[in-house]
Amino acid sequence: MADRIFQFRLRSDHTAPDRQTEALVVDFLNAEGQWEPQDPTLTTPGFRLLLLSLLLCQHFYLVANAREMALPLHRVEGDIKVTTGDDWILTAFQGDFRISLDPAASPDDRAKADAAALDHIRQRMALCPVSRNLPGTVQKLTSLCLSEGRGPA
């Protein structure tokens, strides 16, 4: 049995004062090894929509919790890798997310994005409804770190 690997990447910008998601871009790594921009429609393959839903749900929970904690979010970047068996049944999910903070934010505001805050957000991301509906047999691993070089949560 050969595994199937599906990879997506995401980038979004978040400007002051409300830090809402702007300029959200999602790409899919196709079979030829090229990144394809995603603009889903009703003709998008259903399995790809499922995987996009997983990525976007994780992103939504990341941003919502960062905003709730008043983090000066500037940019979010994320990569997911989903593995299935040759029968298309999910076996593993790996999500790696990085945030950058607004360089114009005060040091006190930037300090809010400490290891405890990032760990809290990462744990909340696991509660997104799409993630929670994955079978218990799926290995799930999500990381979240500051892109400024601080360690993962």
Q: What is the pLDDT of residues 92-122, one digit of tens each?
A: 999 999 999 999 999 999 999 999 999 999 9
In a domain, 153, yes or no: no
What is the mean predicted confidence (pLDDT) over 141-153?
73
Residue 71 resides in a domain: yes
* pLDDT number for residue 110: 96
Q: Say if residue 17's pLDDT is above 60.
A: yes
- Evaluate whether residue 52 is within a structural domain: yes
Residue 90 lies in a domain: yes
Closest C-alpha among 76, 144, 70, 77 to residue 110: 70
**CATH number (domain holding residue 122):** 3.30.300.20
pTM comes to 0.92
The residue range of the domain holding 129 is 4-146
Task: Give a yes or no: residue 152 inside a domain.
Answer: no
pLDDT band at 148 (very low <50, low <70, confident <90, very high): low
Distances in Å between the alpha carbon of 4 and those of 36, 44, 76, 97? 18, 19, 27, 22
The total of structural domains in the chain comes to 1
Instruction: Confirm whether 117 is domain-assigned.
Output: yes
On whether residue 100 sits in a domain, the answer given is: yes
